[in-house]
Amino acid sequence: MKVTWKAVAAWICYVLGVIGWCYAGGWMVLTHPLKGLVLAHLAGDLSLGKLIVAVVQGFAYLSLGGAIWCVGYMLSNYFRDR
């Protein structure tokens, strides 16, 4: 099998998309909203409003991570198909 620059570019785009998802979707969700909830609970200041905000932030970060992965996947298909 001959490896071309297009195959390498497709692989790099896909890997960057997966890494972007892991950072934005995984790391950001696990650190920012959950850290805020834990700190609010420890301070005795946890409320339903803060819980709802954390859920919305988590959904936004997971959606952003999915969008980053989709862009990487589309770019990899662009290079692979040509």
Question: Which residues form the domain of 45?
Answer: 5-81
Please state, in angstroms and as integers, the Cα–Cα distance from residue 35 to each residue in 15, 24, 39, following that order.
28, 15, 6
3-state secondary structure of 77: helix
Question: What is the total count of domains within the chain?
Answer: 1
Tens of pLDDT, residues 69-79? 999 999 999 98
Q: What dihedral angle (degrees, nearest 10) is formed by the CA atoms of 53, 21, 39, 46?
A: 20
3-state secondary structure of 43: helix
What pTM did the predictor assign? 0.74
User: Is 82's pLDDT higher than 70?
Assistant: no
